[in-house]
Chains A and B, each alone.
Chain A
């Protein structure tokens, strides 16, 4: 065989190894959730024991129906979706504007203001509970979905991300836009945003998953089922201190909470990364 042939074979072998590694790692990473899925269909009266942690001798939906009946999941689904979308919508505006300002302009106090905004990334939520509670009360929006969302309308993380993404847009493109007579919002739409889409996607995903799964703050700032999110229902399965773990019930409840996010990610990332790839990026 000539050297090109050897190279080709090596390459094939290499990609074969890559595939194997990828598959192995992907499987390893998925075992917990695969187990959870199988466990959720296990009859609740068939306990886990040594050598018997996967399938039982029958499959059943009763864990899901039982979990559904123990908390008003329908209402919780709606509330969670509303809160997450609301937060995302407002955040998209605030972070693009702020990120643009930091990336595109020099102005007095820029560094200080930026670090001020960054504070939000560094504070644990537990430290904020009581003061934010009283702020919400003062604003008169206690026990609403808006109350859950409002502390997050400004996002340090998003601003950080957008600033970084915008800063890596080549300067000459920006200058070209200015010369063409673009106003600031046209600059954003036509020059800064297009190459920053991956960052926007990454931020959207992280914001959505974080707020979908947020526990403590919603539990404190809301009390009626009309405003409470999915996690309020989930605590009825995860905080059972008086008894041992009910694995099949718990996994069913968890999957019910997490499934929409799973599905959204699967569809969403495919479409976006693919369309991004096809659009002829630089």
Chain B
């Protein structure tokens, strides 16, 4: 009967599954054993070290640590980082680095939180959002880095070499807590050919920007080719340059947010005017982050506000001259931008030897040649000034001058929104900003309400 055949199939699944399952733990058990070994070796090795002569470099006990990376661009991050790790391990043979790719920034942070809350040992090193600083400090997850900088040769020069905008989110309480790694900035991409064809000047302030966008908005049958696309589905990051360009950022420090301010309200109204007054943009909240870059590259939109990380993709797809600039500010000749992306953090819960080894890796990977290489291959902005003087970078920027433009945008950058209780504060801001964009509330009312709620959310955190 056919039933027998079904039973046979079930039996096969059962047996197969159980056999495979029984064998499953075996191959995966190896890394666990590998990790156990170096720790065991550490003890006898230390004794040896004490006995050994004080050579220039003492015999170092082997140490292994993990580093959690988020992947937020479509570059072969894993291959690139594995290459760096190989170079590093060649120079420091006693250190083994295990990279772990756990999704996006949110996933990495969730994984670390779960590990620590579940009683596990976190990785020694992780890349997390620069803005996560206060949450991480308050939760007591991360270790300050001043000790390492202090004992480093030329430590101060090292820190000074980083682009200042990228270090803005690394300090708290006069201590340094993170090192910039994969950083980006908000920029405006514009279709230089379209501007030339229409005889328009590159915008130099808000008004000329809006007028240019209006002039470049054309009807194509039933549809509209907008002059500007300005994503606002996750609005704070792209909005900040508007506020900064108007003279007032939306935060002063980790405990003070500035929403209910005439200048900020003016920035919100500017965004709304772009659609209601200038008809240069679709009205309301634009959830177009995903499609804005391809719309731009295909010529459907003259300008977009987006991340510098999209540059590589846009250049590959566009068949016109791509211009990159910071956002025009309110006044003539002013510009603005805001940084984004992730930094290296060393996690407190890992054993000290691992933390020390992790620092060595951070030092290694932030050398100018590596910074330049990473930037060229991934589209992130090279975060150190000296990286731009390396040969590879000079050659690259000769080909791709827009990469210099993204760096130059940073001089106009204000601090990215990072406060205590960031999740809640940001959520409140998003809520009211989007209500203003969608016309549910006036900008003034929305920002006033946002200020009240944000202050309440910050009250528990701030003295």
Contact = CB atoms under 8 A, between A and B. Distances in A.
- Please tell me whether chains A and B touch each other in their complex, using a CB distance cut-off of 8 A: yes
Interface of A: 44-50, 52, 69-71, 82, 85-90, 92-93, 129-134, 137, 141-146, 149, 189, 194, 197, 216, 219-220, 223-224, 226-227, 232, 235-237, 239-247, 249, 272, 275-276, 278-279
Contacts of A88: 13, 17
Interface hub of B1, B15, B78 (most chain A Cβ within 10 A): B78
Contacts of A69: 76, 79
Contacts of B64: none
A130 B78 contact: no
B325 to A, nearest CB: 19
B31 A143 contact: yes
16 contacts: A47-B295, A48-B291, A48-B294, A49-B294, A50-B220, A71-B78, A92-B13, A130-B114, A134-B118, A144-B28, A223-B102, A235-B102, A239-B70, A242-B73, A242-B341, A247-B294
Most central of A86, A236, A242, A245 by chain B CB within 10 Å: A242
B118 A239 contact: no
Contacts of A134: 118-120
Given A48-B298, A197-B6, A239 B313 contact: no
Given A46-B317, A82-B20, A244 B310 contact: yes
B21 A137 contact: no
Contacts of A219: 102-103, 107, 111
B200 interface: no
A240 B71 contact: yes
A82 B299 CA distance: 47
Interface in B362-392: 379-380
B219 interface: no
Contact of A133 (B114, B306, B310, B379): B114
B14 A89 contact: yes
Contacts of A90: 17-18, 21
| Interface of A, helix, strand, loop or mixed by DSSP | helix
B3 A239 contact: no
Interface of B: 1-3, 5-7, 10, 13-18, 20-21, 24-25, 27-32, 66, 70-74, 76-79, 98, 100-107, 110-111, 113-115, 117-120, 182, 184, 220, 223, 289-295, 297-300, 306-307, 309-310, 313, 316-317, 340-341, 379-380
A69 to B, nearest CB: 7
A47 B182 CA distance: 26
Most chain B C-beta atoms within 10 Å of own C-beta, residue among A47, A86, A220: A47
Nearest to B76: A70
Contacts of B66: 223
A244 B307 CA distance: 9
Given A49-B300, A142-B32, A275-B5, A239 B21 contact: no
B306 A244 contact: yes
Contacts of A145: 21, 24-25, 28
B104 A235 contact: yes
Nearest to A201: B6
Given A85-B20, A239-B104, 19 more contacts: A47-B317, A49-B299, A49-B300, A50-B223, A82-B21, A85-B13, A133-B115, A142-B32, A145-B28, A146-B25, A227-B28, A232-B103, A240-B73, A241-B72, A243-B74, A243-B309, A243-B313, A244-B291, A245-B290
Contacts of A223: 66, 98, 100, 102
Given A134-B118, A216-B110, A241 B105 contact: yes
A239 B72 contact: yes
A240 B21 contact: no
A278 B6 CA distance: 13
Nearest to A200: B10
A93 to B, nearest CB: 7
A226 B102 CA distance: 14
A82 B24 contact: yes
B188 to A, nearest CB: 15
A129 B116 CA distance: 11
Residue among B7, B17, B106, B317 with the highest chain A CB neighbour number at 10 A: B17
A238 B334 CA distance: 36
B184 A235 contact: no
Contacts of A279: 1-3
Given A49-B299, A90-B21, A144-B25, A224 B14 contact: no
Contacts of A142: 32, 120
Contacts of A232: 101-103
Given A88-B13, A149-B21, A52 B298 contact: yes
Contact of B114 (A48, A129, A275): A129
B317 A246 contact: no
A239 B111 CA distance: 15
Contacts of B117: 130, 133
Contacts of A275: 2, 5-6
Contacts of B72: 239-243
A247 to B, nearest CB: 7
Contacts of B101: 232, 235-236
A189 B118 CA distance: 42
